[in-house]
Amino acid sequence: MDILAAHAEDPTLQTFEHDVWWIVLIKLVGLFVMLLLLTLFTINYERKVVARMAVRPGPNQVGFRGYLTSLSDGLKLPFKEEIIPRTADKVVYFIAPVISATTAFTAFAVIPFGGVVTMFGHRTALQLTDVPVSVLVLLACSSMSVYGVVLAGWASGSTYPLLGGLRSSAQMISYEVAMGLSIVAVFMTAGSMSTSEIVRSQAAGQPTSFFGHEITVPGWYCVLLLPSFLVYMISAVGETNRAPFDLPEAESELVGGFHTEYSSFKFALFFLAEYINMITVSAFCTTLFLGGWRAPWPITAVWHGANSGYWALLWFFLKVFGLLFGFIWLRATLPRMRYDQFMRFGWKVLIPANLVWILVLSWFKIIHNGLVTGLAKWGPTIGIALIFLLVVLFWPSKPKPRERSLEEQLARRPPGSFPVPPIDLQVPPSPRARRAVAERAPAAVGGDSESKEV
């Protein structure tokens, strides 16, 4: 199929200027309903997959094979008793979950689900709206969601939610920096911050010369910008507080985290926001790195109409469900990390690696006329540089000290130290206990009381 024909159905910024108001209203309501249904599906999807990996049945009582379990939970939560702490700030206590849920829904407004289609006789794009800085809108929504977490922990008037809110905000802000830096590489390669333009830039490969051979560079940025893709995926897990980075909500540490004092409908809003954030980062990753709503190359090679009409929704959601499966797989596989290890990994590994990668891309942008051609030509050089960077980052600073025996540790104690307890930590019995044991002891074999008196 000709590249111009492939771009004929792509939306542009001018496409959204001619939408009729009731078409926009239909897309808005449809987007809201779709997110609610996706949330119910994702909750049940996670329970089923984790149960399958743990070799157990999972939910199987409500509905056909348990597929209505998440719906029953969603209907039950708003009708449960709401308990508000006396020390809570009532206004902020109410606003916090609203902020988290609102920002989660707003982020989906600039996600493209498909090209231009005919809807009730009008030509419109399968996207609510688009602006020249759509990616910044998504980053702003993820930044605003931190306010909901911090305010929820502070307004509850309790120590546990306050600690959970502080830890969660530090985690989200730290990994949001790494996520933002990973997206910079996409800006530089696509030349635009519009989500629809980023999808269009991944439409087709670009032929280039590689060691004397003519090859076609893959259009998806997950291949061309592999380091940025990997950093984004790791940062997305930390940004959404998912396992193994679910430190703020670790029940064994903080009794539920920042939403400990929430119940009923307000807790349901936090629960809804968490799963919508999972769907949002998956859809955002699909848009930036996986070609958006376009079908993969083998399908487009044999079916020229794969990207036309409403078929784009199928490819988009298949990619999103694949990324959601990755979230669930991590939860069922990896143990929870320690908080200091998690923060050190974000600040000392992800962010420096991202900065070096951006410098490499800037060098290609300046030296070569075409960034994509330069990356394809200097691919081996980039690989060697990344391997060198990883070796430098993970090289141990000093050898591990030798473990000393107990006798050596006792000999190294300073004079006047507190006495060391016994190794087995067994305290000798008291005199009263020894006398009681002696009185209960049976007589010696072959002896009697009369022989003792002689």
Per-residue confidence in pLDDT tens, the chain, 454 aa: 434 344 446 777 777 877 888 999 999 999 999 999 999 999 999 999 999 998 998 888 888 888 888 888 888 888 888 888 888 888 999 999 999 889 988 988 899 998 888 888 888 888 998 888 899 998 888 888 889 989 998 998 888 888 888 888 888 888 888 999 999 889 888 888 899 889 988 876 555 444 455 555 557 888 888 888 989 999 999 888 888 888 766 655 556 778 888 988 898 898 888 899 899 999 999 999 998 898 887 787 778 778 888 889 999 999 999 999 999 999 888 888 888 888 888 888 888 888 888 888 887 777 655 555 555 555 556 656 666 666 666 665 666 677 777 677 777 777 777 766 655 556 667 778 778 878 876 654 444 444 444 4
d(C-alpha 236, C-alpha 150), whole Å:
19
* CB 350 within 8 Å of CB 260: no
Cis peptide before 244 (omega within 30 of 0): yes
Q: 3-class DSSP state for residue 261?
A: coil
Q: Nearest to residue 102, comparing CAs of 155, 161, 145?
A: 145
Q: What is the pLDDT of residue 371?
A: 57
* CB 356 within 8 Å of CB 391: no
Q: Nearest to residue 339, comparing CAs of 263, 249, 258, 277?
A: 249
The H-assigned helical ranges of 54-158 are: 69-76, 90-106, 134-155
* CB 373 within 8 Å of CB 206: yes
What amino acid occupies position 216? T
Calculate Rg over the CA atoms of the chain. 30
Angle formed at CA 169 by CA 198 and CA 104, multiple of 5 degrees: 45
Q: What is the pLDDT of residue 443?
A: 53
Paired tokens of 98: 């609203």
d(C-alpha 105, C-alpha 103), whole Å:
5
Counting every residue, how long is the chain? Answer: 454
Q: For the whole prediction, is pTM greater than 0.85?
A: no
d(C-alpha 354, C-alpha 183), whole Å:
10
Provide the CA 138 distance to its chain's centre, in angstroms. 15
d(C-alpha 19, C-alpha 258), whole Å:
41
**All residues at 6 or more sequence positions from 274 whose CB lies less than 8 Å from its CB, including other chains:** 240, 241
